[in-house]
């Protein structure tokens, strides 16, 4: 009798073991774990940029659930070469030093998502981000119109009334619009039509009129211009290739007389690769030099500072008062948002490059610049992807969203699978 019971128990254990091995052997289950964890974390991150009351216990619960799900995906489904394993250990060790020196845990979470995204289709990650962001965006704007949450309206005199539409600040609302537009254009780049460009320009006008967010409006228009030029050149090049087959001309004769658009398209792609790889390090160095050498007695510097609405002079104050550390430091920053009352002790470094340099240290800034340059090298054949990094680099001169997952998910492409089939929109 006892033998029969033991045999049954062993059969059950064996069945559970086989089921577990089958489940772990299917990487799709790992994708699901990661995307669930990513969605939970993104929900938390985006909600914290709105005026909705998001309890601390719920925020902590979402954070813990996201870490658990992504951690399980890494442990159960990911495999590493020895070189990559030591790289991951080294990076997390540096993140630990940053946490010890500055108290900022966000670097550790960012790295966890980057590592967890290994081999996950980047397009799926972006679709999850876009769906969540648009859903929360619609909910937030509607709630602000219905007075469920406050629409912070800032009277800025010459710049008029700036509305946040339920977000904690005007630029947070505008930034969400910009990043959603950028991702939507990327996912649907092969199916863009004239009305997509027109409606996006109208949207940029709406953002500027109601929010007076100059940077995000400009970035939305840059999205239209870059994708528009690219698709025109790409279409004309494809037409030339088709004409070559129909006419049946020899390759040399065709290249001499008819290959103008194709050459222009190839040149355009090469330029985008070079710009994508270099733009972020160049702009980071430029931002540092302008801030470091800022002098209030220099008229040119003062005009540049005025154009950036005081960002250069504030960054200069940060560099002088705190200096640059290897692994960062705790820098209390007080910015606008959450209320229409201006803070008395305002001090906030908006430039992403200077923000990362001062708060997380020079080691991590160099790491970020290398990561994005490598991402561009990895995706050098995907010009549309390069646009994401180019426009992000431009935006990061003024905005501090380079490391904020509520806005920017592009860094997760480091280990993700980035060859995508674009959506039809």
364-398: per-residue pLDDT in tens? 999 999 999 999 999 999 999 999 999 999 999 99
Angle at 393 between CA 391 and CA 399, to 5 degrees: 100
Q: Which single residue is written with the structure tokens 């004239």?
A: 194
Closest to 392 (Cα-Cα) out of 181, 211, 187: 181
Residue 149 falls inside a structural domain = yes
Residue 59 has pLDDT above 80, yes or no: yes
pLDDT for the residue 339? 79
Give the separation between CA 141 and CA 173, rounded to whole angstroms.
9
Tens digits of residue pLDDT in 342-365: 777 888 898 999 999 999 999 999
Give the separation between CA 16 and CA 21, rounded to whole angstroms.
9
Closest to 391 (Cα-Cα) out of 268, 283, 269, 235: 283
pLDDT for the residue 175? 95
pTM of structure:
0.90
Residue 341 has pLDDT above 90, yes or no: no
Closest to 375 (Cα-Cα) out of 367, 105, 95: 367
C-alpha Rg value of the chain to the nearest Å = 25
Residue 409 falls inside a structural domain = yes
Residue 48 falls inside a structural domain = no
Residue 347 falls inside a structural domain = yes
Q: Are 309 and 294 in contact (CB under 8 A)?
A: no
pLDDT for the residue 3? 53
Closest to 418 (Cα-Cα) out of 369, 383, 366, 390: 383
Residue 197, SS3?
Answer: helix
pLDDT for the residue 81? 86
How much of the chain exceeds pLDDT 70, in percent?
Answer: 88
Residue 333 falls inside a structural domain = yes
Give the separation between CA 180 and CA 223, rounded to whole angstroms.
11
Q: What is the mean pLDDT of residues 84-92?
A: 90
Q: What is the mean pLDDT of residues 217-231?
A: 94
Distance, first Cα to last Cα, the chain:
66
178 is in which domain, residue-wise? 84-413
Domain count, the chain: 1
Closest to 151 (Cα-Cα) out of 140, 137, 159: 140
Residue 147 has pLDDT above 70, yes or no: yes
Closest to 156 (Cα-Cα) out of 203, 205, 206, 210: 210
Residue 327 falls inside a structural domain = yes
Residue 279 falls inside a structural domain = yes
Average pLDDT over all residues of the chain? 87
Residue 60 falls inside a structural domain = no
Tens digits of residue pLDDT in 170-201: 999 999 999 999 999 999 988 889 999 999 99
């Amino acid at each position: 009798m006892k033998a029969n019971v033991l045999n049954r128990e062993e059969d059950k254990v064996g069945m559970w073991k086989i089921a577990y091995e089958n489940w772990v052997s299917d990487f799709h289950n790992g994708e699901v774990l990661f995307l669930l964890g990513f969605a939970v974390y993104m929900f938390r991150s985006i909600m914290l940029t709105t005026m909705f009351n998001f309890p601390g216990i719920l925020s902590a619960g979402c954070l813990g659930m996201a870490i658990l799900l992504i951690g399980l995906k890494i442990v159960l489904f990911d495999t590493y070469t020895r070189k990559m394993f030591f790289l991951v250990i080294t990076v997390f060790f540096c993140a630990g030093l940053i946490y010890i020196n500055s108290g900022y845990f966000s670097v550790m979470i960012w790295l966890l998502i980057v590592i967890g995204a290994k081999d996950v289709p980047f397009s799926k990650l972006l679709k999850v981000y876009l769906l969540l962001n648009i859903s929360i965006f619609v909910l937030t704007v509607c709630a602000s119109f219905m007075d469920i949450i406050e629409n912070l309206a800032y009277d800025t005199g010459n710049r008029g009334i700036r509305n946040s539409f339920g977000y904690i600040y005007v630029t947070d609302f505008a930034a969400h619009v910009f990043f959603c537009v950028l991702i939507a254009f990327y996912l649907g780049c092969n199916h863009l039509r004239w009305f997509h460009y027109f409606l996006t320009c109208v949207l940029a006008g709406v953002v500027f009129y109601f929010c007076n967010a100059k940077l995000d409006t400009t970035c939305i228009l840059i999205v239209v211009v870059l994708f528009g030029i690219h698709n025109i050149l790409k279409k004309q090049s494809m037409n030339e290739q088709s004409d070559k087959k129909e006419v049946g001309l020899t390759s040399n004769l065709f290249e001499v007389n008819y290959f103008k658009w194709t050459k222009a398209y190839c040149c355009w792609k090469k330029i985008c690769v070079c710009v994508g790889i270099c733009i972020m390090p160049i702009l980071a160095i430029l931002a540092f030099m302008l801030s470091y050498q800022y002098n209030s007695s220099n008229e040119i510097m003062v005009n540049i500072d005025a154009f950036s609405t005081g960002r250069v002079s504030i960054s200069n104050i940060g560099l002088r008062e705190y200096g640059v550390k290897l692994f960062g430091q705790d820098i209390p920053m007080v910015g606008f948002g959450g209320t229409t009352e201006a803070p008395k002790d305002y001090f906030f470094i908006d430039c992403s490059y200077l923000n990362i340099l001062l708060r997380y240290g020079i080691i991590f800034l160099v790491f970020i610049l290398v990561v994005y340059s490598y991402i561009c090298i990895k995706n050098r054949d995907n010009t549309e992807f390069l646009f994401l990094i180019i426009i992000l680099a431009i935006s990061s001169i003024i905005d501090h969203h380079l490391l904020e997952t509520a806005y920017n998910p592009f860094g997760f492409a480091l280990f993700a699978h980035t060859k995508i089939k674009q959506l039809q929109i």
